[in-house]
Amino acid sequence: MENLNTSSTEGFVLVGFSDWPRLEPVFFVIISVFYSLTLFGNSAIIVLSRLDLRLRTPMYFFLCHLSFLDLCYTTGTVPQLLASLSGLDRTISFGRCVAQLFIMLSLGGTECVLLVAMAADRSAAVCRPLRYTTMMHPRLCRALVASSWVGGLVNALIQTGLLMVMPLCGHRLNHFFCELPTLLKLACKGTGVTEANFYVARVIMLVLPALLILGSYVLIARAVVNIKSMAGRRKAFGTCASHILVVSLFYGSAIYAYLQPVHRYAEREGKFVALFYTIITPMLNPLIYTLRNKDMKGALRKVLGRGIDSG
């Protein structure tokens, strides 16, 4: 039986979507298009937020960091997936696998906490509109973002450290990147305590932020109900609708993948769920925010207008 030492020397084989060889060229084209749109859309949000003074607000400050996270998240998995789909090397060394796991856990944990900060920002905007600018001052916004990155880093250190001491039996990963639930499927017998520690860490990183976000939106709902004018209610809902949609997409897929017991985790379905939160959601985030946001659309028209005028 293979153990951790064998995995350390031989690395892992990423099965990816080789189970469907005829679909691999189709996946390659679709994922390439999605990845290009992700790079363009999230980069555009970051650039526009820096160029337009109207977007120098807490909401867009957080949104820039979310876009940067999405860029890093997709870049951490998609190039390797495209190489696998094109028939190139499907192997990954143990060191690269651990590094990829650490980076993905760090980025995912950071996004979990960042979405809480964004929910707090929207709650302040709707529930305390007159005090919003004093409550969400730049120093607090920077502290919230820094806390998000620290939280993601601590999460990655804990879970990657637990994996490093866990004996693994096998080196064939039925996934397109080194994702934690798939690696845990390789765990040898007698690792129940470590798996329980993993589960507690995942609950803290997913469920606690989700509950905080839910609490923020309960406060927002109460505030919206007390607004007398229909136009005011529409405006209040409009400031939060994009964030609600992003949270639902991200947490829905992440909870499905990470909160299942290891023995119930279906690797084949898990690969498609992972496509959702590593590729589809990062691609949709810019569309969700720009299509529903007048300021962002105005900034885009302004920049495009400058380009046409200069041309």
Residues 6+ apart with CB under 8 A from 142: none
Buried/exposed code over 216-230 (b: 16+ C-beta within 10 A; e: otherwise): bbebbeebbeeeeee
At 246, which amino acid appears? V
For the record, the structure tokens of 83 come out as: 């190489």
2 vs 63: CA distance, rounded Å: 45
60 vs 289: CA distance, rounded Å: 10
pLDDT given at position 181: 85
Q: How confident is the model at residue 34 (pLDDT cuts 50, 70, 90)?
A: very high
- Compute φ and ψ for 187, nearest 5 degrees: -60, 140
SS3 187: strand
274 vs 257: CA distance, rounded Å: 8
Q: Is residue 180 a contact partner of residue 101, using CB atoms and an 8 Å limit? A: yes
The model's pTM is 0.85
Place of tokens 């900060």: 117
For 129, other C-beta atoms within 10 Å of its C-beta total 13
- Compute φ and ψ for 129, nearest 5 degrees: -60, -35
Domain boundaries, the chain: 4-304
Mean pLDDT is highest, among 52-61, 62-71, 194-203, for 62-71
Angle at 88 between CA 85 and CA 91, to 5 degrees: 95
For the record, the structure tokens of 263 come out as: 């023995």
From the list 144, 121, 131, the residue with the least C-alpha distance to 59 is 121
For the record, the structure tokens of 169 come out as: 């039996």
For the record, the structure tokens of 107 come out as: 């980025």
Higher pLDDT, 293 or 181: 181
Task: Answer whether residue 262 shows pLDDT above 80.
Answer: no
Q: What is the mean pLDDT of residues 290-297?
A: 64
List, for residues 222-236, the tens digit of each pLDDT value: 888 777 777 767 766
Task: Answer whether residue 308 shows pLDDT above 80.
Answer: no
Superfamily in which the 4-304 domain is placed by CATH? Rhodopsin 7-helix transmembrane proteins (1.20.1070.10)
Lowest mean pLDDT among 145-159, 183-197, 261-275: 183-197
Greatest CA separation for the chain: 69
Q: Is residue 257 a contact partner of residue 181, using CB atoms and an 8 Å limit? A: yes
Q: What is the mean pLDDT of residues 29-44?
A: 92
Lowest mean pLDDT among 39-48, 91-100, 157-166, 289-298: 289-298
